[in-house]
Amino acid sequence: MKKIFIILLTTIIFYSCKEKTKIDTNYVIAKFQENADNIYSLEYRMQRIDTFANGGTVWNNTGIALIEQNKNDKIFGFSFYGKRDDIDKEYIYDAGNRFEISKTDKTYKVKPGHFGFIGSPGGQMVHQNIFKLDSIYKNVSLLETKNSYLLSFEFENDTVYNVSNRTKVYELNKTNFFPIQIKQTSNQLGNKSVSIAKFSNVEINENVTNSIKNLKQDFQNYTIIQPEKRKPNKLLAQKLPLLELPDLFDKNKIVKVNNNKLTLIDFWEVWCRPCIASFPKVENLKNNFPSELNVIGIVSEDEENAIKLIKKKGTTFQNLVGNDELKKTFSVNSWPRYFLIDKNGIVQKEYFGFSEQIEKDINEFINK
C-alpha cells in the first residue's frame, strides 16, 4: 500500500511540475514563422474579395497560385506563378523577371520584375504575408476557435496615404499554422475598404505537383513579344492647348492656365498612391521657385474626396478639375503624369511618375 501511495504521489508531482504550453500571441506568431520557414514549395486556390474605398466597388476573383521560397530574391523573397480564373493569361515572377504568358496565341512578354507585379491579375492571387506576418504594429490580440487561431493586428495611421483604422486579421489553421483567411480593413477619407483572401486546396512541399521551372518550360517555344518603345507624346514641342478649367474648390470659378510662365502640370487622382506620396515633392517645387514656376494640379475623379485629401495634406498649389476629353488630349492613361511647359507656352517635357529630373529641368529652363 505504501509503495502504491509513493507512485501516485510521484505521478502527481511530475504532472504538476510539467510546464504546460502557453498559448499566447507570441507562441502563435512563432509557430507560424517556424512552419513558414520550412515551406519551400506551396500551391493553393484563393478567393479574393476587395471592396474599395470609392463608394463600394467590389472585385470578387478566384484563381490559383504556386509559390517557391527564395530568400535570396530581393523583391519578394519568392518566385511565383499566378492565374485568375477569369483571365486567359498566366503570370510568372522568377529570377528578377516577370512573365506574361498567353497560351491562346502562344506568345509571352518578359520584363524586369518590380514590386508592382503583385498587382497583376496573376499576382493578385499571391498574398504578401503568405510567409511572413506583419512585424510593425500598434497592438495584437489572439482569439482561439475549435480549429483555428485568430491573430488581430492594429496599425498606426498611414499619414502618407491618409489611411486610418488599419487592421489585419489572420485566421490560422491549428494544425500547420497556415492561413485559412486574411482580412484587411482600413478607412481612407471616411470611406472603408476591405480585402479578404480565402485559401483552400493547400498543398505544401512534397505534395506540390508542379514547379516554376516546369511552368517556364511550357512556354519556351512560344513567340516572345518584344516591348514596344513608348511613343513620344503628340503635345511635345507643341503649343499648350487652351486650358480653361474649373477651380477644384470653387467650380463657378474658371481658371485659365497662364502660358507666359514656366508651368508644371500634375495629373493625379485620389486612388493613386504614388500621386499622393509625391504631393510634398511637388509642393517643395512650388516653394523653391515661388516667382519662376507655376504649379497646377489636375484631378478628374471624386472631387469631394480630392478636396478632403488636399486639406489634410496641407497642399497649397492650385488644383483644377479635369475631364476625359482633357486626359485624351494629353494622352494620360497612367498616373501621376507631369508636363513641363516653358514661358512661351511650349510643352517641353513629359514625366511618367515623379523624379529628380523634374527639378533639374526646371533649373535648366529658369537659367536659360
Distance, CA of 170 to CA of 129 (rounded, Å): 10
Q: Are 153 and 171 in contact (CB under 8 A)?
A: no
Which fold does the domain 20-224 belong to in CATH?
outer membrane lipoprotein receptor (LolB), chain A (2.50.20)
Distances (CA, A) of 255 to 247, 252, 318: 6, 10, 10
Report residue 216 CA to chain centroid gap. Answer: 26
pLDDT one-digit tens code per residue, 55-104 = 668 999 999 999 999 989 989 999 999 999 999 999 999 989 999 999 99
CB burial of residue 7 (10 Å; 0-12, 13-18, 19+): exposed
CB burial of residue 295 (10 Å; 0-12, 13-18, 19+): buried
Distance, CA of 35 to CA of 180 (rounded, Å): 14
CATH of domain 244-366: 3.40.30.10
The domain limits of the chain are 20-224, 244-366
User: Average pLDDT of 30-44?
Assistant: 97
pLDDT one-digit tens code per residue, 221-274 = 899 898 777 889 999 999 999 999 999 999 999 999 977 899 999 999 887 878
Judge whether residue 20 has pLDDT over 60: no
User: Average pLDDT of 164-183?
Assistant: 97
| Confidence band for 14, pLDDT divided at 50, 70 and 90 | very low
Q: Cell 498616373, residue?
A: 335
The pLDDT assigned to 274 comes to: 84
Q: What percent of the chain has pLDDT over 70?
A: 94
